[in-house]
A and B are shown apart, each in its own frame.
Chain A
Amino acid sequence: MSDTPVPPPPPPPGFSPTSPAAVRRGAPWLRGTGCHADVVVSSRVRLARNLAGTPFVKKASREHRQRVALIAQARLQAVASTEKLAWVDLSACSQLDRTLLVERHLISKELARGEDPRGVAISHDEQISIMVNEEDHLRLQVIRSGLELSEALAQIDALDDRLEGTTLGASVPILADASVAGGPGGGASGLNYAFSPKYGYLTACPTNVGTGLRLSVMLHLPALKLTGEMEKMRRAARDMSLAVRGYYGESSEAVGDFFQISNQTTLGKSEQALLATFAQEIIPQVIHYEREARRKLIEKRRRMVEDQVLRALGALRYARLLTPEEATTLLSQVRLGILAGLITDVPEQTVNQLILLTQPAHLQRVLGREMDQGERREARADLVRQQLSV
């Protein structure tokens, strides 16, 4: 192992994913653009990768983790200009900045928690994030607005190739240049992934082994919820070995009728086969069901839906105290009202971004001060009122 610290890749001038300017811009994946954006809020693709010859993160000593961080940083620095990546050293980050990145879906709660060497590289457009020393040494993620899984998969595949860095069919092993490479896991010249022809990309948890690929979409399903069909959908998803989670993924509850659906099988099916089943068969069906439910609701129970979405808008316009859950739930209903043509004086984009800006860390960064829970409820209601004022 090389003891020489590698300096982190410099962020592109003027870019910081946690700066007030970036935060006020909202998240690109909440733009409401892309295919089927009325139902599919965003598409996310991630790859789990580990360095060869190195213990997985949970088993790794602090020195091992430090080395993984150095190797990853060296490689990220080498590709930083192509990918326009900025490195965020999470072990040196404030709690607020960590929570901000979790709220923006750029890091996981797990990565945000620890103090050991860890970090994330984030692209200028916030589509790419590469977590270092999460459950696996590297977790590559691409997140885009709308149903754009195939674009996201192509993007992450190319990124994965660049991080690996060797030329196609290279016969010179990375280890041959160990002094430059920084050890068995590779380094500046390319990463040497742990891989077995039998089990594919080797991961800390065997549920990710094989392709290491997780495809997921965040869906807005207010009509299926209203018509009581959501439980049916959950059961069907479970039968197809899909995971249904809440707004923040792993073990989070669904808030405001936003659900994340993802594949669970990673071994024995190729990336393209997984994509074909998920993006071309399963998700289009869910989209169809939600649209049908919306259509029937408007056709048969228009007054009830109108009442509900306009009450939600009223509450947001006049409330003086709001919790994040209440804000999200009401904004979700207003979004349904806009998409169903029942609310015409509020832009969808405003509602989408408010879902993010009303989260605790975003609220504090936008308003430029730290606040306790009580203050935040007041400030949240003020912000929403101001943005949705008639």
Chain B
Amino acid sequence: MKCQKCDNEATVHEVMIKGGKQVEKHLCEICAKAEGFAVQSKGQVATLLTQFLATQVTPTAQGEGVRSACRSCGTTYAQFRATGDLGCPDCYAAFDAQLGPLLERAHEGGGRHVGKVPKRLAHLQRAAMTEASELAPKTPPAPSTGAPSGPVKATRTVVDPHVQLASLRAQLQGAVAGERYEDAARLRDQLKTLESGANEAQGEAGIAGQVQGPNRPGEQPT
């Protein structure tokens, strides 16, 4: 596919639903950068990590971010920047704001875990699977029934939002891989809604989803 702005091969694709209308953009890397897309430059993750750490000059990182320390082990963000090593599992929560974009870049856009879950948390995985099957698009969506997402709402109340998000992300990946862009756009919108909800619910707990001990409140098996 050709870039919509020049004759180069289009490598960046965006599908958006604006006011119920689907808007597609297909651009080459150069034009995408000019449009303000964050185009992932390719390279070894380790190199990327080092470069990113070395060049990160956002106000957060230079200001309070650098001085902030993990309450559990005392590692500061500046120390992490210098060595590339975190001090303890709690550092992920302590430096969540700074780590998020870094991890997304280092892992080719993958900012959230998809995959195996410890068995002691398997109930979360099972809930995610139930959720996924209920959220999965029943081919094709039938707008004429006029019944929005009633059953979905009912299920959400018993599902850990993180798991639900993970499940949606997995579906989104599948949709993108299968070039089902309309599904992808719909899933992305669902994700956005859920993410904002999850963030509000989390409040000041940062990545409250962080499970260090099994006694996390409100996480009884379903």
Instruction: Show the binding face of A for B, using Cβ within 8 Å.
Output: 50, 52-56, 58-59, 157, 160-161, 164, 166-171, 173-175, 184, 192-202, 204-207, 209-211, 213, 238-239, 241, 243, 264-273
Q: Given B86, B116, B123, B160, which contacts A56 in the complex, CB threshold below 8 Å?
A: B86
A242 nearest CB neighbor, chain B only: B44
CB atoms of A59 and B84 under 8 A apart: no
Q: A174-B214, A209-B103 are in contact. Are A271 and B116 (CB under 8 A)?
A: yes
Query: Which of chain A's residues have a CB closer than 8 A to the CB of B99?
Result: 206
How far apart are the CA atoms of A243 and B120 in the complex, in Å?
33
CB atoms of B42 and A211 under 8 A apart: no
- Which residues B20-62 have CB closer than 8 A to chain A? 42-46, 49
Query: Which of chain B's residues have a CB closer than 8 A to the CB of A171?
Result: 123, 220-221
Query: Which of chain B's residues have a CB closer than 8 A to the CB of A184?
Result: 212-213
Minimum Cβ distance to chain B for residue A65 (Å)? 13
B43 nearest CB neighbor, chain A only: A238
- Which residues B80-110 have CB closer than 8 A to chain A? 83-89, 92-93, 99, 102-103, 106-110
Q: A56-B87, A196-B211 are in contact. Are A270 and B115 (CB under 8 A)?
A: yes
A47 nearest CB neighbor, chain B only: B116
Q: Given B44, B102, B120, B170, which contacts A206 in the complex, CB threshold below 8 Å?
A: B102
Minimum Cβ distance to chain B for residue A26 (Å)? 32
Minimum Cβ distance to chain A for residue B213 (Å)? 6
How far apart are the CA atoms of A213 and B210 in the complex, in Å?
20
A interface secondary structure, majority: loop
Query: Which of chain B's residues have a CB closer than 8 A to the CB of A204?
Result: 85-86
How far apart are the CA atoms of A167 and B123 in the complex, in Å?
11
Interface-centre pick from A50, A58, A210 (highest chain B CB count, 10 A): A210
A52 nearest CB neighbor, chain B only: B212
Q: Given B45, B111, B166, which contacts A197 in the complex, CB threshold below 8 Å?
A: B166
A268 nearest CB neighbor, chain B only: B110
Q: Given A55, A166, A209, A272, which contacts B88 in the complex, CB threshold below 8 Å?
A: A55
Query: Which of chain B's residues have a CB closer than 8 A to the CB of A50?
Result: 89
Q: A59-B88, A175-B214 are in contact. Are A161 and B44 (CB under 8 A)?
A: no
Q: A166-B119, A206-B103, A264-B44 are in contact. Are A194 and B113 (CB under 8 A)?
A: no
Minimum Cβ distance to chain A for residue B126 (Å)? 7
Minimum Cβ distance to chain A for residue B200 (Å)? 16
Query: Which of chain B's residues have a CB closer than 8 A to the CB of A271?
Result: 115-116
How far apart are the CA atoms of A156 and B106 in the complex, in Å?
25
CB atoms of B212 and A53 under 8 A apart: yes
Q: Does B122 contact A (CB under 8 A)?
A: yes
What are 7 residue pairs bridging A and B, where the CB atoms are less than 8 Å apart in the complex? A53-B89, A169-B221, A171-B221, A197-B210, A200-B115, A238-B43, A238-B44
Q: Does B162 contact A (CB under 8 A)?
A: yes
Query: Which of chain B's residues have a CB closer than 8 A to the CB of A58?
Result: 83, 85, 87
CB atoms of A164 and B109 under 8 A apart: no
Query: Which of chain B's residues have a CB closer than 8 A to the CB of A55?
Result: 72-73, 87-88
How far apart are the CA atoms of A169 and B214 in the complex, in Å?
12
Query: Which of chain A's residues have a CB closer than 8 A to the CB of B122?
Result: 168-170
Q: Given B87, B207, B220, which contacts A198 in the complex, CB threshold below 8 Å?
A: B207
CB atoms of A207 and B45 under 8 A apart: yes
Q: What 17 additional pairs, Cβ within 8 angstroms, besides A193-B118, A268-B169, A270-B170?
A: A50-B89, A53-B213, A54-B89, A59-B73, A169-B126, A184-B213, A195-B118, A198-B210, A205-B84, A207-B45, A209-B92, A238-B42, A241-B43, A265-B107, A265-B110, A267-B112, A268-B111
CB atoms of A194 and B212 under 8 A apart: yes
Instruction: Show the binding face of B for A, using Cβ within 8 Å.
Output: 42-46, 49, 72-73, 75, 83-89, 92-93, 99, 102-103, 106-124, 126, 160, 162-163, 166, 169-170, 173, 207, 209-215, 220-221
CB atoms of A157 and B107 under 8 A apart: no
CB atoms of A197 and B163 under 8 A apart: yes
CB atoms of A205 and B86 under 8 A apart: yes
CB atoms of A210 and B120 under 8 A apart: no
CB atoms of A241 and B108 under 8 A apart: yes
Query: Which of chain A's residues have a CB closer than 8 A to the CB of B121?
Result: 195, 197
How far apart are the CA atoms of A54 and B87 in the complex, in Å?
9
How far apart are the CA atoms of A269 and B160 in the complex, in Å?
20
Minimum Cβ distance to chain A for residue B135 (Å)? 17
CB atoms of B42 and A197 under 8 A apart: no
Q: Given B75, B107, B173, which contacts A59 in the complex, CB threshold below 8 Å?
A: B75
How far apart are the CA atoms of A359 and B106 in the complex, in Å?
36
How far apart are the CA atoms of A169 and B222 in the complex, in Å?
10
How far apart are the CA atoms of A164 and B169 in the complex, in Å?
26
CB atoms of A265 and B108 under 8 A apart: yes
CB atoms of B214 and A210 under 8 A apart: no
CB atoms of B84 and A157 under 8 A apart: no
Q: A169-B126, A204-B85 are in contact. Are A269 and B220 (CB under 8 A)?
A: no
CB atoms of A197 and B124 under 8 A apart: yes
Query: Which of chain A's residues have a CB closer than 8 A to the CB of B117?
Result: 195, 197
Minimum Cβ distance to chain B for residue A348 (Å)? 33
Query: Which of chain A's residues have a CB closer than 8 A to the CB of B103?
Result: 199, 206, 209, 267
Query: Which of chain A's residues have a CB closer than 8 A to the CB of B45?
Result: 207, 241, 243, 264-265
